[in-house]
Structure formats: structure tokens, C-alpha cells
Structure 1
């Protein structure tokens, strides 16, 4: 790609503009790795320092992040849960994979991870170990949500419905991960699940102790079927939760690194204190 000699912008500005357009239009998706500096040097026929200057511009705009030894990646701006997939898949390129999830049912985690586990199954990803920890609300105990909308009262039938949704997602994750160990595709593959008595107000993912994603559950009223009859309830809607990414980089002046550290510390504090073993 030749630069325009009549463009009043510097070569690095032109290159930054071209890459910015490709990011904004989705050619490079959130979490996707950009071409290497060598590839960009060849593509634009410029010196490496020019490429570095262009990348610094995009980094200052918080469009990309650079990780030592890994490369340059498109920053995950505010995005919905589907944006987790490239981050989780990249995490499985590591030798040892660790994912901590705290939230409601685990449904988002299962949807984000199933394609990656399939790639491990067919040998496209080859981690040596996988450790997944899941921390969820205990639907056997009354809590603020879910509840009947009419009087905001606890209803065991409503909690039982939520428990069925949770059980389905949790068992799917546990079985899929265990299968990798049973087939000797991964040396060590474990899924641990614990519950606690707090209402589900947010979801949190901590991936390989390097990235974190956080989103609030909107509480909405909707009608569900309970014992064959429609019932209006207030519920936490995980599919409507917008995830905020925290992705530290080598040159990142933000507090992303501190957030990831504190998110992991919070998870461990819950896990080792008030959380107890999950039983379906």
C-alpha cells in the first residue's frame, strides 16, 4: 500500500489513519492481533520507526494495546459478551489457562468458551492445563432477585427456574472441560464451582490473571412461565450486560493493571471465605 506523497499528513499519520479505519470498520475485531511491525513495514514500505510512531498514535487513542512478547492487539472497547471470544481464544494459546468467572448462571461463559474448547478438541489449540473457577449465586436461598414483580417477594418457583438455567450451563462447562482431560488432550483440566448467598448484580471475568471484563446486570421486569402459568418477575438480565474491558499494556498509563489485580483479589477473597461447594 503506497502512501500519498501529496497528503499533507506525515507518513506515520497516514498509516495511523489507515489502521484506524480498518479497526473502526471491523476489519480488525476487538481483541484481534494486528500484523507484526515487520509486516506493516513491508505493507507500507516505510521504516520501522515510522510504524512505531503510527502505533503510538493509536495507542494514545486507546484503540490498541501492546504486550511484550505477544504483539499488538485491538483494544476491546465497550462491547457485549460476544466480544469475549477472541480474548478467551487467545488465552488458550498460553501453556496454562486460568479463567475465573463470577456472576449469575454461567451461561455467558459457556457461550464464550465452547468454540475455543472445540478447537482444543481438534488440536488447533494445545494448552497443557486448564483451570476454570466459577462463582455464582445460590438459588437455593431467598435473595433480592429474581423475585415476583407484583410484590417484590421471594418465590421458590422463580428461584428453581433460575437454578435450572444455571445447572444447564454449569454442567455443560464441566463436562466439556472434563472430556479434554479424559481424552488426554490436556494434561490437567479442572472446573471448580462454588456458590454464595449474595444476589447476582454483576458479572466478572478474570482471564489468565492478565485481563478482566466487568459488567452490571440490568434488573428488568419480564414475564416467564412458572408451573405452566405466566408470571411477571424482576430478574437480572445477563444478555443485556455490557462488558467493560480492563486490558493492561506495556505503555498503558491507565489503572487497568491495578483493576485486574484487585478483581483477582476480590474473587479469591469470596472463593476462600463465604463461598461453598456447588451442588446441583
Structure 2
């Protein structure tokens, strides 16, 4: 047992919070690592479980840890790049009912991330009962603020058509792969819905099983693409350069993380049911 300093004037919960904070900041507790249970921490520091809960609340408010219902308390993974999102998407497919809402530019990265969990379903390693995916993308049949020609910042239908082809190829592949699992009887219920809206893509958003959110801004970059053999210089969004921030619903519904997940879901649902239109695949 690591007894607290009786001469320390700070309340016991602050001392416990300070000890855990130091372990996190010095990487003795690694990002993503699960903390010992409340009972174990109470025994370790010689305090009541209520004191440990108060300490965890302090660390949660500082965005150092995240509480996951039914799983425990984990050191927060402060920021995640797209490649690190993959394990969270794959883990979501271990649930009986999988939901995934995506808002972004084309769904190209999402398509790549779904391949491994869908393959695991095909070989029987994962057995979800239902999969429901909703995808919100910009309507590239209409002029938008992005992408744009560099030379005069004007809309270019050829550039939009290229972006539209990328989007339809990506989301079409997702729909085909998911519906195939249903046709084969490997998943009881499958659905993939795609809707488009006329807002320029400025961020990407993943909502996983209505409990986790990954959010990141698209940087605007200048690059050159070839369309029918001709180079076109354009300002475009670059998904692979977007840093994603991770939020999870915690036991504290008033925490910043819980509220961000709830507000993200509300935003998605509101756009989905109001200014977007169905995309026929």
C-alpha cells in the first residue's frame, strides 16, 4: 500500500489525482492503458473508493482519462491519426449491433478501414447480428467552395465530376461488401444509406456505435490532378492529413467528452433529416 502523506494539506482525492497524473504524464501509464479498478486504487492508496472516484473525476475533467461504461477507466489517447482509428472501427464490429455514421468528403478512407472487419465476418471470426452504416457526403453535382481551381478560384465541373467518381466508387464498394454479408446469411440485418448535402467539406466525423466520436478538420491544400490526361491545379481537402480527436461517452453525462459525442450525433441526425438528399448507388 502507498499511504498518502499525512502532512500534505491537500485533500486525499487531490493527492491521488496528482499521483495518477504523474504516472500518466511520465508514461508509466501509457495512452490507451486501463487503470486499476476503483477497489484496487483505494487499496493501493489507503483511501475510500469515493475518494478514488473524486480523483478520477479530476483527471477526466483534465481530459487525461476516459471512462467507458462496462469497461473501466482508460488513459486517454490524446490525438489519433487516421491509421490509429482502424482498431476502434474493428473493435466496434465485435458488438452484436454495429452502427457507424460518417460525414466527410468521399468515404475513401472509411472504405479501406472496413475491409478487415468485413473479411473477419466472412471467415466467421466476427458475428454481428446487424450492421447499419450512414454516410453524409457533399453534393458534387453542384458548385461548392471546395474543390476550386487555383488560377481563379472558380468552380470547375470537371474537378467536381472527378470528386464525385471517387465518392461513388468508395461508398459503392462499402454498400456492396456490407450487403453481400447479408445476402450470404452471415449478418441478419444490413443497411448502407448515403445522403448528400450542399455544404463544403471542412471536417470528417466518425460516430461509432453511438458511443465514440473521431473528429478532425480537413486542411486545404494545393495540388495537381490529371483529368482526361490534362493537369488541373486545384485547392482541395486532404483527408490523410487530418488529425482526429477522440471522444467517448463516459459515466459522467455532463463531461466534455460525453457532451461532444451527444452533440455530434445531434448534428449528424439534423443534417441527415433536413438538408441532405438520398444518393442512389
**How far is 1:20 from its partner?**
6.0
**How far is 1:58 from its partner?**
6.2
Q: How far apart are the structure 2 equivalents of 1:37 and 1:187?
A: 37
Checking the alignment, whether the CA contact within 8 Å between 1:23 and 1:74 is kept in structure 2 is: no
Q: How far apart are the structure 2 equivalents of 1:132 and 1:49?
A: 46
**How far is 1:131 from its partner?**
0.3
Q: How far apart are the structure 1 equivalents of 2:229 and 2:46?
A: 66
Partner of 2:196: 195
Structure 2: segments with no counterpart, 5+ residues:
3-14
Normalised by the size of structure 2, how large is the TM-score? 0.80
User: CA 1:271–1:16 in 2, change beyond 3 Å: closer, same or farther?
Assistant: closer
Q: What is the correspondence of 1:51-200 to structure 2 with a 5 Å cutoff?
A: 53=52, 56=56, 59=60, 62-200=63-201
Equivalences, count: 270
Checking the alignment, whether the CA contact within 8 Å between 1:20 and 1:58 is kept in structure 2 is: no
Normalised by the size of structure 1, how large is the TM-score? 0.81
User: CA 1:53–1:173 in 2, change beyond 3 Å: closer, same or farther?
Assistant: same
**How far is 1:232 from its partner?**
0.7
Q: How far apart are the structure 2 equivalents of 1:49 and 1:88?
A: 38
Checking the alignment, whether the CA contact within 8 Å between 1:95 and 1:127 is kept in structure 2 is: yes
RMSD of aligned alpha carbons: 3.4
Whether 1:268 aligns to 2:269 is yes
**How far is 1:142 from its partner?**
1.3
Partner of 1:7: none
With 250-259 and 198-207 compared, the bigger mean Cα shift is at: 250-259
Partner of 2:34: 34
Q: How far apart are the structure 1 equivalents of 2:36 and 2:97?
A: 24
**How far is 1:277 from its partner?**
1.4
Offset from partner CA, 1:11-57 (integer Å, 9 cap, x none): 99888766765577xx765xxx638749x96xxx9689799959938
Q: How far apart are the structure 2 equivalents of 1:251 and 1:264?
A: 17
Offset from partner CA, 1:173-209 (integer Å, 9 cap, x none): 1112112112211111111111112211111111111
Q: How far apart are the structure 2 equivalents of 1:257 and 1:216?
A: 20
Checking the alignment, whether the CA contact within 8 Å between 1:215 and 1:244 is kept in structure 2 is: yes
Checking the alignment, whether the CA contact within 8 Å between 2:24 and 2:75 is kept in structure 1 is: no
Q: How far apart are the structure 1 equivalents of 2:157 and 2:176?
A: 28
User: CA 1:246–1:174 in 2, change beyond 3 Å: closer, same or farther?
Assistant: same
Q: How far apart are the structure 2 equivalents of 1:136 and 1:70?
A: 33
Offset from partner CA, 1:204-260 (integer Å, 9 cap, x none): 111111122221111111111122121110111111111122213225763222221
1:108 is paired with a residue of what secondary structure? helix
Q: How far apart are the structure 1 equivalents of 2:91 and 2:48?
A: 28
Q: How far apart are the structure 1 equivalents of 2:161 and 2:98?
A: 33
Structure 1: segments with no counterpart, 5+ residues:
4-9
**How far is 1:84 from its partner?**
1.6
**How far is 1:83 from its partner?**
2.2
Q: How far apart are the structure 1 equivalents of 2:85 and 2:177?
A: 18
Q: How far apart are the structure 1 equivalents of 2:59 and 2:90?
A: 24
**How far is 1:70 from its partner?**
2.2
